[in-house]
Amino acid sequence: MNFLEERIVKDGVVKPGNVLKVDTFLNHQMDIELIDQMGAEFKKRFGDAPITKILTIEASGIGIACLVARHFHVPVVFAKKSKSINLDGEMYVAEVESFTHKCKNQIIVSKKVLSPEDHVLIIDDFLANGCALQGLLSIVAESGASVEGIGIAIEKGFQPGGRMIRNLGYHLESLAIVDGMNDETGESSVQNIYTLDSHVPLAQAVPFGLQHILAMFVANIAPIIIVTGACGLDASHSAMLIQCAMIIAGIGTLIQLFPIWKIGSGLPIVMGISFTFVSVFCYVGPAYGYPAIVGAVLVGGLIEGILGLFAKYWMKLITPIVSASVVTSIGFSLLSVGAASFGGGSGSENFGAPSNWILGTVTLICCLLFHICKIVF
């Protein structure tokens, strides 16, 4: 456990309703040395980002944000929950719901203190359902500024806020993730298995690695099967392409794990084939042949590589709403492919046979059940 997790286990108190009280050291009586240490940790995690403003919400986040700002040498902006006579001019306004207080508030930030040129690090004390963060993200989006990251002191890992914010594509770092609370004993459990720089024992690293590999298999094989089927290629071509894809995916994953110069993240990012272009290739392949797909991939890869070098200049244009719209449209464009596969595959001799429908229905039900269970538990 890190320094904050140890303090939560030692002095944190759980109240009914999944409320974690840390008022003896964080948000009523404040342990300045502890919070300064938190600021240093956030600086370590977001130090490469060009932060120009720290944004938080009153009142509990202000103290933490101030000490974080001291390490970044930038000003703090805090969203007010009520308009005072000291605020004048135009305002950014968003509505947020408080998990602790069970009420809704409008939060306000003056347009004088947040501009499109700003690079914002959002800081808050707690993350539960993510309502406050959504309000702050809405204000930043309205201002035209860029969100460089989100730093949270304590995240309730058993609630959906963290997963939701990460799924939107934001860089979210939580210093402590509470994965269980017992209001009968008043205790909380912090059982983060490993931090970023931890060394995983071999006995655990092997099954974790196999889990990643098995997940990669499906993602690498499925796009090839879909595209080669649409192009009318035989099984030998499909097998060759799958073999090539797995070799390149393995090399790419190793480079991510063990960076070469500035290439690679040093994280267990499993590389593989993207589903993004499957719908396009399903139209290009039958019309122009598989060589046209290969050429398109080479040209597209070159353009993506060049764009990646200048990502920091255009990333603000790709908001989470834009990304979500693109991903949704990809899913809709693949509905016809999924429907054909449900019946047994395009051109199959037994297309629409009861056995295919039964297999497809069982698969669909299993996927839905697993997704529901993931949300609940």
Is residue 23 domain-resident?
Answer: yes
Is residue 367 domain-resident?
Answer: no
Indicate whether 366 pLDDT > 60.
yes
Is residue 62 domain-resident?
Answer: yes
CA 237 to chain centre: 36
Q: pLDDT value at position 376?
A: 46
Is residue 250 domain-resident?
Answer: no
Across 161-181, average pLDDT: 86
Q: What's the pLDDT tens digit per position in 306-338?
A: 887 787 777 767 777 777 788 788 778 778 777
Is residue 145 domain-resident?
Answer: yes
Task: Work out how many domains the chain is built from and give that number.
Answer: 1
Domain that holds residue 79: 3-189
Spatial distance between the Cα atoms of 321 and 317, rounded to a whole number of angstroms = 10
Is residue 262 domain-resident?
Answer: no
Indicate whether 286 pLDDT > 70.
yes
Spatial distance between the Cα atoms of 147 and 327, rounded to a whole number of angstroms = 21
Is residue 343 domain-resident?
Answer: no
Indicate whether 343 pLDDT > 90.
no
For residues 173 and 151, is the Cβ–Cβ distance under 8 A? yes
Indicate whether 193 pLDDT > 70.
no
Q: What's the pLDDT tens digit per position in 87-119?
A: 667 899 988 876 555 667 789 999 999 999 999
Is residue 143 domain-resident?
Answer: yes
pLDDT more than 90, % of the chain: 29
Distances (CA, A) of 245 to 108, 220, 228, 248: 50, 7, 13, 5
Phi and psi of 152, rounded to 5°? -120, 135
Q: What's the pLDDT tens digit per position in 208-244?
A: 888 877 777 877 888 888 888 888 888 898 899 999 9
Question: Binning pLDDT at 50, 70 and 90, where does residue 83 land?
Answer: low
Q: Is 125 helix (H, G, I), strand (E, B) or coil?
A: strand
Q: Which residue has the higher pLDDT, 313 or 139?
A: 139
Question: Binning pLDDT at 50, 70 and 90, where does residue 271 land?
Answer: confident
Does the pTM surpass 0.85? The reply is no
Q: Which residue has the higher pLDDT, 376 or 82?
A: 82
Q: Which residue has the higher pLDDT, 323 or 284?
A: 284
Spatial distance between the Cα atoms of 125 and 42, rounded to a whole number of angstroms = 13
Spatial distance between the Cα atoms of 241 and 252, rounded to a whole number of angstroms = 16
- Identify the CATH number of the domain in which residue 112 sits: 3.40.50.2020
Q: Is 115 helix (H, G, I), strand (E, B) or coil?
A: coil
Spatial distance between the Cα atoms of 182 and 167, rounded to a whole number of angstroms = 28
